[in-house]
Structure 1
Amino acid sequence: MLAAHLPPPPDGRVVVVGAGKASAAMAAALDAAWPGADLRGVVVTRDGHALPGAADGRIEVLEAAHPVPDARSEAAARRLLATVRGLSADDLVVALISGGGSALAALPAAGLRLEDKQAVIRALLASGASIREINAVRAQLSAIKGGELLRAARPARMLTLLVSDVPGDDPALIASGPTVPGRTSPAQARELVARYGLPLSPAVRERLDRAPPRLPIPDSPAGPDEVRLIAAPILALEAAADAARAAGLTPLILGDAIEGESREAGRVMAGIALGVQRHGHPLPAPAVLLSGGETTVTLGAGGAHGRGGRNTEFLLGLATALGGAPGIWALAGDTDGIDGTEDAAGATVTPTTLARGRAAGRDPHADLAAHDSYSYFAALGDLLMTGPTRTNVNDFRAVLVLPAEA
């Protein structure tokens, strides 16, 4: 995908920076596409997502923690900023940005410590806030997000290549927009904090109350910056639709930006699937319902909970709503290969998911209540284990519906 979006290699120096779960693979693709360019740089990806040696030594690959940043995330952000400082208008910066970059390159704004940001992120992740809302708060607490990496690169010109993992594909929200001037404000962040009742340290509250205005980013004398979207959730869904047609199925793409509580989204999807099977609406079986986006799991403050991510919770909600209906199967997974913080990408549901769960001593309703969907599907051997895919176009869900008599 990346090579098709590249201009001809420039005559001058190319400086590469990047952050996200796809950044190592993107760096390798850029290195291969521009073998003769004067190219160097550094990118940061999630632990286990690097491609050692793939960029031939010209682009260094760092690793850091996700979804909660660690000291390596802070160090990586400092490296990215240092790499683009001191350039000239003759230099081109290529930024390789993908989902996950918010945590992987996390430099606290002035007056904040890493521990302050970690506490806010943990609270946001447990609150049920959408990725759009989480990134809006992150950007206000960061010294690299919201276009600050772009500012540091001036007077050089920047080409940003994006792999989107956010509903709507807004460049300012992908990895919290380190190369795209932010459009959110401290006031919006304060409203989100109040809405979800997030506990804040005095330093974070002071930052949101008294954040200095961000000055406009000057243009480069070398010409306008470019932002190119090279991969997005809808492309994955369209590819799946093509595969479904080739298999003799009728696909229906329900959207690439579905959000909301994971278990409730699963129950809604079950209702649509049953409508297809019983009444032929909104299309007749055999069919496959495809969707993407990012649902959420609200853990709430305090209390114990089990293991799982938004995809396994979506599937357990779907399975309980289907009640073992024959002729309906489902798969859901995060396209980066990691559902939340687990080692599974997601799982699969079959008409026997509930019966096999009971035989294994699992109660699907109790596991849903305890947010223990991973354990449920692990007991059945139905987890989807891909390992890191080194890309990230958000969640992928497919529900296969056959006629009831099948």
Structure 2
Amino acid sequence: MSVDPQQFLRELFATAIDAAHPQQVLEAHLPKDRSGRVIVIGAGKAAAAMAQVVERCWQGEVSGLVVTRYGHGAPCEKIEVVEAAHPVPDAAGQAVAKRVFELVSNLSEDDRVIFLLSGGGSALLALPAAGITLADKQSINKALLKSGATIGEMNCVRKHLSAIKGGRLGKACWPATVYTYAISDVPGDLATVIASGPTVADPSTSAEALAILKRYGIDVPASVRNWLQSPESETVKPGDPGLARSHFQLIARPQQSLEAAAVKCRQAGFSPLILGDLEGESREVAKVHAGIARQVVLHGQPLAAPCVILSGGETTVTVRGNGRGGRNAEFLLSLTDSLKGLPGVFALAGDTDGIDGSEDNAGAIMTPDSYARAVALGLSASDELDNNNGYGYFEALDALIVTEPTRTNVNDFRAILILESPKNDA
């Protein structure tokens, strides 16, 4: 089968991104009646690209404000685009969050609001609750990012420390009609977790947020602890009449991207195996993938080569070292260490937003000779893994994937291409 393995993996990654891009998925979900005035607000790495679609499709008066990550903006004529920091919020994110909140306050029941939501919104739309400072949120956010907490756990804490998340933004819009269009970057596609659910009811509690902070040994100032012990810190709960006119629509999710990649695999003659949305420590998830790849190569199970193993989701990294690297580089480094050059196995791991954690790469590529080439350079995969230095490892191999911001985000994408035929057990 004549295929360039690395090029094919890059094409799969591009296919996954395109399947979730606002230009492809948003227009069909907008209200059929696109006349009259609409206020557009938004937060996330896809917010600017989503705003462009609304501007192009809406027939009536359009105005509004969206916030996206630095470098992820796009030119809009009627909707203001502001850039702020991610994954740790900054003053720009706090300022724009305050403006967004004020923009939708004091609306009438004749008003319509379109809220464009995507991954990254939790950090970008940062409006601390009463008595909590931006510095408090920043320090807690940094600690959570290093702790190994899941995105659901992180966002439970974030929404209870916020004046805008956990349904509070949606309630502020009352009695206007709110249409939230979301691109999911979380396992399970839970509306309450995507960007910490600014416009949807939230069943989690402040007590749960406190328990999460305790579980991961995160010290918090007295002001934060006192707030979380106060009834005022509770988010907007299911059944609250303030959300009666708030509607939520998921327009893109990781599964769509995995299915699009699977179609491309079949067209190229490869059998796809979709493992789905996964969570867990990146290095441990990689070991499971390595075990499946080894079983394919050695025994032709659970499917025969040539094939592609596909997975998505959001893994975590418990930071122990001082190296550089996001979730995907860590995954790929652990996979390399586990397979140690298993013939015929190529792999790509990348973040569909184009940024692996806080680095400038989307991810990296592993080839069957990656392990040996690194050894020749004096690099030990296990040592680099101990130092959380996936970026440095693959940079040395000239194997980083740099896409620039994609302006969408359905989380991580992983593809393991296996060309080797099954081997005889004997």
Structure-2-length-normalised TM-score = 0.91
1:247 to 268, 276, 283: 268
2:280 maps to what in 1? Answer: 260
1:30 to 48, 51, 54: 54
1:161 maps to what in 2? Answer: 181
- Separation (CA, whole Å) in 2 of partners of 1:186 and 1:98: 24
1:118 to 130, 138, 146: 138
- Separation (CA, whole Å) in 2 of partners of 1:219 and 1:353: 56
- The offset of 1:10, in angstroms, is 4.1
Q: Find out whether 1:100 has 2:140 as its counterpart.
A: no
- The offset of 1:11, in angstroms, is 3.8
- Separation (CA, whole Å) in 2 of partners of 1:403 and 1:134: 40
1:362 to 355, 366, 379: 379
1:271 maps to what in 2? Answer: 291
1:334-360 deviation digits (Å, cap 9, x = unpaired): 000000000000000000001111122
Percent of residue pairs identical: 54
Q: Find out whether 1:235 has 2:256 as its counterpart.
A: yes
2:336 to 310, 319, 324: 319
- Separation (CA, whole Å) in 2 of partners of 1:138 and 1:45: 18
User: 2:28 is aligned with what amino acid?
Assistant: A
User: 2:49 is aligned with what amino acid?
Assistant: A
1:202-256 deviation digits (Å, cap 9, x = unpaired): 1111111224245664357xx7432111111000000000000010000010112
2:203 to 180, 183, 192: 183
1:398 to 415, 418, 423: 415
**C-alpha contact (below 8 Å) 2:314/2:412 kept by paired residues:** yes
- Separation (CA, whole Å) in 2 of partners of 1:125 and 1:76: 23
1:49 maps to what in 2? Answer: 72
- The offset of 1:3, in angstroms, is 0.4
Q: Structure 2 matches for 1:329-348, cutoff 5 A?
A: 329-348=346-365
User: 1:181 is aligned with what amino acid?
Assistant: A
Note the residue ranges of structure 2 that are not aligned, 5 or more in a row. Answer: 1-24
**C-alpha contact (below 8 Å) 1:12/1:91 kept by paired residues:** no
- Separation (CA, whole Å) in 1 of partners of 2:159 and 2:376: 48
- The offset of 1:361, in angstroms, is 2.2
Q: Structure 2 matches for 1:192-211, cutoff 5 A?
A: 192-211=212-231
Note the residue ranges of structure 1 that are not aligned, 5 or more in a row. Answer: none
Higher mean C-alpha displacement, 175-184 vs 159-168: 175-184
User: 1:314 is aligned with what amino acid?
Assistant: F
**C-alpha contact (below 8 Å) 1:12/1:90 kept by paired residues:** no
Count of aligned residue pairs for this structure pair:
396
- Separation (CA, whole Å) in 1 of partners of 2:56 and 2:35: 17
1:176-218 deviation digits (Å, cap 9, x = unpaired): 0011122211011111111111111111111112242456643
- Separation (CA, whole Å) in 2 of partners of 1:41 and 1:181: 23
- Separation (CA, whole Å) in 1 of partners of 2:53 and 2:157: 32
Secondary structure, aligned partner of 2:40: strand
- Separation (CA, whole Å) in 2 of partners of 1:224 and 1:399: 44
1:62 maps to what in 2? Answer: 82
1:9 maps to what in 2? Answer: 33
User: 1:39 is aligned with what amino acid?
Assistant: V
Q: Find out whether 1:73 has 2:81 as its counterpart.
A: no
Secondary structure, aligned partner of 2:229: helix
1:280-325 deviation digits (Å, cap 9, x = unpaired): 111111110000001111015xxx5110001000001001111111
- Separation (CA, whole Å) in 2 of partners of 1:87 and 1:383: 48
- The offset of 1:365, in angstroms, is 1.0
**C-alpha contact (below 8 Å) 1:9/1:37 kept by paired residues:** no
**C-alpha contact (below 8 Å) 2:168/2:235 kept by paired residues:** no
- The offset of 1:405, in angstroms, is 7.7
- Separation (CA, whole Å) in 1 of partners of 2:302 and 2:360: 35
**C-alpha contact (below 8 Å) 2:353/2:406 kept by paired residues:** yes
2:158 maps to what in 1? Answer: 138
- The offset of 1:74, in angstroms, is 0.4
- RMSD of equivalent CA atoms: 1.4
- Separation (CA, whole Å) in 1 of partners of 2:146 and 2:371: 27
- Separation (CA, whole Å) in 2 of partners of 1:18 and 1:263: 34
- Separation (CA, whole Å) in 2 of partners of 1:369 and 1:167: 26
- Separation (CA, whole Å) in 1 of partners of 2:198 and 2:385: 37
1:21 to 45, 61, 65: 45
2:400 maps to what in 1? Answer: 383
- Separation (CA, whole Å) in 1 of partners of 2:235 and 2:35: 33
- The offset of 1:82, in angstroms, is 1.1
User: 2:386 is aligned with what amino acid?
Assistant: A
Structure-1-length-normalised TM-score = 0.95
User: 2:336 is aligned with what amino acid?
Assistant: A
1:90 maps to what in 2? Answer: 110
Secondary structure, aligned partner of 1:226: strand
User: 1:354 is aligned with what amino acid?
Assistant: Y
Judged with a 3 Å threshold, the aligned counterparts in structure 2 of structure 1 residues 143 and 287 are, in CA distance, closer, same or farther, namely same
